């Protein structure tokens, strides 16, 4: 089975990694932070704005293979403060509706940059 590595033009390019890797019908999506395709950070001091950008990135990853956000089957959400958990729940419900994937949420000491409060990695299934 062939492995397809793709950096969709709608997602930021990062040296040393691909944003997505597809094997068969499974798409693995690298941890997403609130960076748009130009590398601009969205949501300084605003966890909901960060989450909205992150979910846009996840959807862009799915669309690159013909899927949508409802193609997501699993996510892992990393937050730097337990107080962000309610925003995660709120935005997940807004973005997924009844099509939410399974999820694990972990509270971590920090992410690569101090202004990044949330990172989400995921797995999607697309035909």
CATH of the domain at 33: 3.30.1330.40
Mean pLDDT within 45-59:
98
CA distance 39 to 124: 23
Containing domain of residue 59, as a range? 3-125
Give Cβ neighbours of residue 127 (< 8 Å, ≥ 6 apart): 25, 66
Query: Which two three-digit tokens encode residue 76?
Result: 């892992």
Whether residue 1 is predicted with pLDDT greater than 90 in this model: the reply is: no
Provide the CA 20 distance to its chain's centre, in angstroms. 11
Q: pLDDT-based confidence at 56, cuts 50/70/90?
A: very high
- Please, are residues 76 and 106 in contact by the beta-carbon 8 Å criterion? yes
Of the CA atoms within 13 Å of residue 95, those in its CB half-sphere come to: 24
The string of pLDDT tens digits covering residues 62-116 is 999 999 999 999 999 999 999 999 999 999 999 999 999 999 999 999 999 999 9
31-42 pLDDT, tens digit per residue, is 999 999 999 999
Token code pair at residue 83 = 């107080």
Closest CA to 37 of 52, 23, 56, 50: 56
- Number of structural domains, the chain? 1
Cβ(121)–Cβ(31) below 8 Å: yes
């Amino acid at each position: 089975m062939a492995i397809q590595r793709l950096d969709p033009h709608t997602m930021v390019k990062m040296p040393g990694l691909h944003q997505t890797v597809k094997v068969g019908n499974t798409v693995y999506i690298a941890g997403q932070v609130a960076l748009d395709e130009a590398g601009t950070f969205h949501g300084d001091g605003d966890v909901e704005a960060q989450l909205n950008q992150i979910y846009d990135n996840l959807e862009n990853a799915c669309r690159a293979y013909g899927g949508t956000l409802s193609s997501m089957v699993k996510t892992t959400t990393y937050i730097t403060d337990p107080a962000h958990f309610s925003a995660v729940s709120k935005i997940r419900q807004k973005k997924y509706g009844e099509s939410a994937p399974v999820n694990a949420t972990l509270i971590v000491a920090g992410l690569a940059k101090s202004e990044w409060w949330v990172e989400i990695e995921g797995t999607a299934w697309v035909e």
